[in-house]
Every structure is written in structure tokens, then in C-alpha cells.
């Protein structure tokens, strides 16, 4: 009997040791891929030569710094900062940052088109200038665009109102030249702002759009984990943060595959996908 207990205990320990490394990940054929393999794929990527890179660095490095909470900023500046819509209507908004990225934005647009879902894209000015055809496609397919600065600096680290003004205005000029209107929506790189920056954005007639659900796709977990992050936290009125672009080491394939899970799952619950201006009943252009 003691021998049987020893064998059972050994098997239990072995199972516990194996389990963390075999969390299900992405796969085109439905079989599970270990998380360690997913991470190894990311580490082996080649750097693209022509995609403008975020000046402030990758999300994986910056987002852990956590400066002033957007919840506090929204409470201080309720007329400028928005984080979610009304809980009275069964609607949510998908939002995507850091594009347009020629590696991933077209694939994401294909998924949204197939599902007849409209989203809101916060675009880097430098990338919009490099890929104006992608900006035009986003607008032509019924999505809304917003300002995400030109070079994606960490505005809190820079701490300079003049830098904010230059980044925002240059992006605005770029976007207006492509699509013919000036957006009223702004989202800060990494979501990082402080009081004076918010006040200046209000003076510049922007609505600062945050989020209430973070997909954490910037951590590049497998797609079903990204989908779980969204599905387990979404409720009526949610603004969902995701990314269609990133620095050269980033891979948004998991995001695209997660969106393919998120859309039908929420629609089955009777939830409608709308753009941020529709969700909040605010204008999207000046």
C-alpha cells in the first residue's frame, strides 16, 4: 500500500511540474502549442527595415511603470477623459493602438470585415505617413481613427507640454491630409498622462479615450488567454484595449486570432460592437 501511495504522489508531482508549460496557445490545426514555444517564436523574429518604431519603447517595457491612474484622471477631468460608456446599453467598443502596421492591420481589417464589426483605431502619425493606403482603408471600411501621437513617446517621462503639442499636431496634420478631416479623439501612448497634459489636451479640443478592459495582448500570451482576458472582464459599456501594431519585436498574430474568438462569443450574449463615438455619443471630428 505504501508503494502505491508513493507512486501516486510521484505522478501528482510530475503532473504539476508539466502543467504550467503546456497552457494552450495558438495553432491553426487546433492542437495545443506550449507557451514556451510561443515565446521562443517571438524571440526569433527578424527586424523589419521600414516600419517606424515607437520612440518610447515596447509596451512590454513601458506599461509596467504605471504612472498616474487613468481612473484618477477621469475623476479629475470627467469632461475630457473617458474610460467607458453607459452600462444601460448592451454595447461595447473594440479599440486598437499603434497602427497602421502592414504586418497585422490588413489581417485584422479582414477579420472585422468578415464579421461586419466597426472599431476605433488610434494611429501613430509616423506610421500613417508611411502607410497612407492603410489609413484610407480603415476609414473606407467604416472604422473611426484617433490620434496616438507621431512617434509614440512616453509623455510622462518626457514631461513637456511642447512635446505633446508637437506630437499631436503633427499627427493631426498627417491624418487630415489623408482622410480629409481632423479627429477629435486622442489616446496617449501606454495610456500615460498627468494633470497638465490632460488639461492641455482639453484646451486643444480633444476627448482623451482610455479603456475599461485591457486585453493584455501586449504581453503576447496565446490567443485564447488574450480572449479570456477580454471575455471575463467585458460588460455593457466597455471600451476594450487591443493592439494592431507594435515595435519590431512585437507579434500581433495572437491579437488577430483572439478577436476571432471574442466577436462571436460576445455577440452570442447579445452584445453589439460599435465605435467609441457611437458608444459615448460624442463627435469624432472637429
| Nearest residue to 85 via CA among 232, 210, 201 | 210
Q: How many CA atoms lie within 13 A of 32 on its CB side?
A: 11
What pLDDT score was predicted for residue 10?
46
Q: What is the pTM of this model?
A: 0.81
Catalytic residues: 97, 243
pLDDT digits (tens, 9 = 90+) for 79-94: 999 999 999 999 999 9
Report which of 64, 37, 54 is spatially closest to residue 248, judged by C-alpha positions: 54
Top pLDDT among 67 and 218 is at 218
Q: Which residue has the higher pLDDT, 214 or 48?
A: 214
The helix/strand/coil state of 205 is coil
Q: What is the mean pLDDT of residues 36-40?
A: 40
What is the pLDDT of the chain when averaged over all its residues?
A: 85
Tell me the average pLDDT across 114-126: 98
List 92's β-bridge partners, or say none. Answer: 273
- Residue 147 in this model has a pLDDT that exceeds 50: yes
Domains of the chain, each with CATH number or no CATH: 52-280 (3.20.20.370)
Grid coordinates of 54: 515607437
Query: What is the structure's pLDDT at 56?
Result: 63
Question: According to the model, what pLDDT value does residue 53 have?
Answer: 75
Q: What is the mean pLDDT of residues 241-262?
A: 95
Neighbours of 29 (CB within 10 A): 5
Report the percentage of the chain scoring pLDDT > 90: 74
| Structure confidence at residue 92 (pLDDT) | 98
Q: DSSP string spanning 101-142?
A: -TTTHHHHHHHHHHTT---EEEE-HHHHHH-HHHHHHHHHTT
CB 222 within 8 A of CB 23: yes
> Strand 185-186 to strand 91-99: parallel, antiparallel, or no bridges (unpaired)?
unpaired
Contacts of 22 (CB under 8 A, 6+ apart): 32, 34, 35
Q: Is the pLDDT of residue 8 over 50?
A: no
Q: Which of 39-43, 146-150, 153-157, 199-203 has the lowest mean pLDDT?
A: 39-43
Q: What angle do CA 77, 219, 192 make, to 5 degrees?
A: 20
Q: How many residues does the chain have?
A: 286
* Residue linked to cell 495582448: 217
Amino acid at each position: 500500500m505504501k508503494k502505491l501511495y508513493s507512486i501516486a504522489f510521484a505522478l501528482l508531482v510530475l503532473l504539476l511540474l508539466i502543467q504550467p508549460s503546456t497552457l494552450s496557445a495558438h495553432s491553426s490545426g487546433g492542437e495545443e502549442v506550449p507557451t514556451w514555444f510561443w515565446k521562443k517564436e517571438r524571440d526569433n523574429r527578424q527586424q523589419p527595415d521600414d516600419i517606424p518604431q515607437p520612440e518610447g519603447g515596447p509596451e512590454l517595457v513601458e506599461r509596467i511603470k504605471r504612472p498616474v491612474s487613468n481612473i484618477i484622471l477621469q475623476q479629475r477631468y470627467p469632461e475630457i477623459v473617458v474610460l467607458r460608456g453607459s452600462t444601460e446599453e448592451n454595447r461595447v467598443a473594440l479599440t486598437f493602438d499603434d497602427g497602421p502596421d502592414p504586418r497585422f492591420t490588413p489581417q485584422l481589417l479582414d477579420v472585422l470585415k468578415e464579421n461586419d464589426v466597426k472599431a476605433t483605431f488610434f494611429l501613430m502619425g509616423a506610421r500613417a505617413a508611411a502607410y497612407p493606403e492603410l489609413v484610407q482603408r480603415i476609414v473606407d471600411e467604416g472604422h473611426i481613427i484617433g490620434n496616438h501621437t507621431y512617434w509614440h513617446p512616453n509623455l510622462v517621462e518626457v514631461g513637456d507640454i511642447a512635446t505633446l503639442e508637437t506630437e499631436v499636431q503633427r499627427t493631426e496634420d498627417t491624418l487630415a491630409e489623408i482622410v480629409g478631416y481632423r479627429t477629435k479623439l486622442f489616446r496617449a501612448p501606454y495610456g500615460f498622462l498627468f494633470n497638465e497634459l490632460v488639461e492641455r489636451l482639453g484646451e486643444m479640443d480633444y476627448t482623451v479615450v482610455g479603456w475599461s478592459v485591457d486585453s493584455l495582448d501586449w504581453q503576447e500570451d496565446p490567443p485564447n488567454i488574450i480572449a479570456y482576458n477580454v471575455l471575463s472582464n467585458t460588460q455593457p459599456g466597455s471600451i476594450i484595449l487591443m493592439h494592431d501594431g507594435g515595435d519590431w519585436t512585437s507579434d500581433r498574430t495572437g491579437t488577430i486570432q483572439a478577436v476571432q474568438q471574442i466577436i462571436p462569443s460576445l455577440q452570442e450574449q447579445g452584445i453589439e460592437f460599435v465605435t467609441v463615438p457611437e458608444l459615448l455619443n460624442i463627435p469624432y471630428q472637429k
